[in-house]
Structure 1
Amino acid sequence: MPLTNRQKTKDLIEKFGCHLFLPTDSPNLNPIEHWWHKIKSILRPRPAKPRKPSSTP
């Protein structure tokens, strides 16, 4: 959300005597952040499995 819209929203909420206590980048204000976390955890590269040492005859 652009800064001007956030400020307008904050001003409107405070006009009615309410106050916001959440940080501006709070995932609670943007539920899609929960989905991005899930997607990133799936796409994040997995560490390679250790190989067994090859036995040489």
Structure 2
Amino acid sequence: MACFFQSAAKFKTRYATLGFSDEANLDEEARWPASYALTELTAAAEARIGALMRQAVS
């Protein structure tokens, strides 16, 4: 599974991006998220990212 993080500051965008390759096990029927926008890293966001990572490699 491959994932990437794109910094908002480095790329001068309004949000950071967390993305996953097609190998990630994030399928939801006929669609699945390929990336997520992150405006801030809160405890709740950290927990959700951890859950996504566990799901992606399952």
TM-score over 0.5 for the pair: no
With a CA cutoff of 8 Å and minimum separation of 6, indicate the structure with the bigger relative contact order. 2
Q: TM-score, normalised by structure 2?
A: 0.29
For the pair shown, the structure with the greater C-alpha radius of gyration is 1
Question: Going by fraction, where is helix more abundant, 1 or 2?
Answer: 1
TM-score when normalising by structure 1: 0.29
